[in-house]
Amino acid sequence: MISGCQVALNRGFDVFDLRNPLSEMNKSPIGTSLERTSLMFEIDRVGWSEELQSMKKSERYIRANNRFSSTLCLGRFVAAFFLTLVACGASDKTTEHTNITGTFALVNCVLIDGTGSAPVLDAVLVVKEGRILAAGARSSTTVPEAAQLVDVGGATVLPGFINAHVHSGFSEANLKAWARSGVTTVRDLCGPRAFALRDEWSTDSECARLVAAGPMVSVANGYPTDPWGSSYMLPVNSADDARQKVGALLDAGADIIKLAIESGESFNLVIPSLNSEEAAAAVQVAHERGTHVSAHVLVSYDLGRALNLDVDDIAHMVVDELPDSLIAKMIQAQVFWVPTIELWQNVGNGLGDKAIHNLRRFVQAGGKVVLGTDYDGYDKPFQLGMPLHEMVWMLDAGMTPMQVIVAGTKNAAHVCNRQTDLGTLEIGKIADVLVVNGDPLRDIHAVANIRLVIHNGVVIVDAN
């Protein structure tokens, strides 16, 4: 639709659907007071009209988000739509979003490509056969004559986001909820060996792409069996055993190897852990096979052990005193950090503040950060979908909105070992695209104001 029409339509939808008409809030157990509180917080942050502020406390209004049952909200939407038709006319030459097929070009947009480069105004993004054909300023980008033009009315175009640390990724419902929110890829760092199921879901663009580690490499009676009793653990008893079992796990289809570098200090326990020879053998096999290695770490002592192994990323921010020497060593080795602040906020006892403090120091020193929450990795509710809580805490740690976006796109693709085809909107990469109303560089909450979600070049969410 043309820009003038779109403004009026968006105004109607803003009142009608809390800026996400496909929310699963009232369809699943995630529809808890936490999610509703989060939603109200988002309304407060974006500063909507006083009229909407007065409506937000209405339970009937919240239910109308999915059930289209509020007469007041529906009336406002119909009125907005009617006024739009009067102002703009009932037809337009631009392709309706729901009819997007074949080669198409998103035009009249602001492009944030995920590389960290400055936004491109009046940009165009061309998609052909599921991949990006062209991206850049409209004035210098060639659009195929046969391409459908999709005017997004000045919206912001970003790469699909990646949550690089989740659990319960082997859930079709979860994968669909992530995808609908604009999180088009997730990395499950401890789960079953159900790689055939992952492959089956990969053919469904309605599901977020699943990058899976399978069971965590550890030792008998080690983490995560102690203290959680988890069965998703691959015990090894020697360096040779580690080589054989990690090789077999990769043969079975693991995308990533997860090591448990856990001595038990944070649990006030002594937990059996991989020795240096066993861990090094696991890393060696993975790297020889072109696979990345993520290390579970909670305290600085274990961080030092992990950094001696040449791992690729650290899962969890440490929450004890973090020596400057380890920060420097991590940056020199170009190891990425996935801080999972939401985990530490859920654990409580001030650990969230400690995680934010240590992340701030890492960022100030020039460290590379990745977006990841540890979704469902602890017995308290986590945010399913776009991880806005984690993003806000990253901002609290001194990251800029652009750094947060890069952490959730380019950097996250790197730790997934998918940097060649995901994470940025560059020519040849898979067309995982999020289109939002608003400017996430001014207010990161704009990433939840969804207009379109495109996964594998297929439109899976159209908020129009």
Per DSSP, the chain holds a count of helices (H) and strands (E) of: 17, 17
Type of residue found at 224: P
Place of tokens 């934010």: 356
- Rounded CA separation 225/379 (Å): 15
Of 88, 111, 133, the domain-final residue: 88
For tokens 């460290």, the residue is 367
**3-state secondary structure at position 43:** helix
Per-residue tokens: 320: 């004890």
- Looking at the structure, tell me whether residues 235 and 183 fall in a common domain: yes
Residue 369 lies in a domain: yes
- Confirm whether 238 is domain-assigned: yes
pTM given for the model = 0.80
Residue finishing a domain among 88, 110, 132:
88
- pLDDT at residue 9, rounded to an integer: 29
Amino acid symbol at 43: I
As given in the structure block, the two tokens for residue 379 are 């017995």
- Answer for the pair 424, 408: CB distance below 8 angstroms, yes or no: no
**Within a domain: 133:** yes
On whether both 410 and 322 belong to a single domain, the answer is yes
Same domain, 190 and 153: no
Residue 422 included in any domain: no
For residue 134, give the CATH number of its domain. Answer: 2.30.40.10
Same domain, 27 and 60: yes
Q: What is the CATH number of the domain that holds 257?
A: 3.20.20.140
Of 88, 108, 125, the position where a domain reaches its end is 88
User: What pLDDT score was predicted for residue 186?
Assistant: 98
Residue 180 domain-assigned (yes or no)? yes
Q: Which amino acid, 383?
A: Q
Give strand pairing partners of 452: 435, 462
- Say what the pLDDT of residue 249 is: 98
Name residues whose C-beta falls within 8 Å of residue 427's C-beta, 6 or more positions apart in sequence: 132, 133, 134, 135
Same domain, 44 and 128: no
Are 125 and 273 members of one domain?
no
Question: Taking Cα atoms as reference points, which of 112, 103, 94 lies closest to residue 157?
Answer: 112
Q: How many domains does the chain have?
A: 3
Residue 241, number of CB atoms within 10 A of its CB: 15
Residue 93 forms part of a structural domain: no
Q: What is the pLDDT of residue 142?
A: 96
β-strands 209-212, 161-166 pairing: unpaired
Whether 40 maps to a domain, the answer reads: yes
**What is the predicted pLDDT for the residue at 399?**
98
Task: State whether 260 and 320 are in the same domain.
Answer: yes
* pLDDT on residue 21: 31
Whether residue 151 sits in one domain with residue 55: no
In this structure, is residue 423 part of a structural domain? no
What averages of pLDDT result for each successive group of 10 residues across the chain (464 residues)? 30 28 33 32 32 31 32 37 34 50 95 98 98 97 96 98 97 98 98 97 97 98 94 97 98 98 95 98 98 98 98 98 98 98 96 98 98 96 98 98 98 98 98 98 98 97 90
Q: What is the DSSP string of 227-272?
A: HH--S-EEE--SHHHHHHHHHHHHHHT-SSEEEE---SGGGTS---
Count of alpha carbons within 13 angstroms of residue 439, beta-carbon side: 8
Does one domain contain both 371 and 339? yes
Residues whose CB is less than 8 angstroms from the CB of residue 160 and which lie 6 or more positions away in sequence, other chains included: 182, 183, 184, 185, 409, 422, 432, 433, 434, 453, 454, 455
Q: Which residues contact 69 (CB under 8 A, 6 or more apart)?
A: 60, 63
pLDDT at 32: 32
Task: Tell whether omega for the bond before 224 is within 30 degrees of 0, i.e. cis.
Answer: yes
Q: 134 in helix, strand or coil? A: strand
Per-residue b or e along 149-158, where b marks 16 or more CB atoms closer than 10 Å to that residue's CB: ebbbbbbbbb
Give dist(CA 190, CA 232) in Å, integer: 6
**How many CB atoms lie under 10 A from the CB of residue 135?**
24
Reference 207, options 462, 464, 461; nearest CA is 461
Q: Would residue 457 be called left, alpha or beta, if left means φ above 0 and alpha means ψ between -120 and 50 degrees?
A: left
**Other CB atoms within 10 Å distance of the CB of residue 57:** 9
- Please give the pLDDT value at position 226: 94
Task: Report which of 66, 35, 147, 45 is spatially closest to residue 101, judged by C-alpha positions.
Answer: 147
3-state helix, strand, coil in the chain (%, to 5): 40, 20, 40
* Domain match, 273 and 242 both: yes
User: Residue 355: helix, strand or coil by DSSP?
Assistant: helix
Print the domain residue range for 36. 3-88
Do residue 308 and residue 180 come from a single domain? yes
| Residue written as token pair 């074949």 | 102
Looking at the fold, whether 153 and 174 belong to one and the same domain comes out as: no
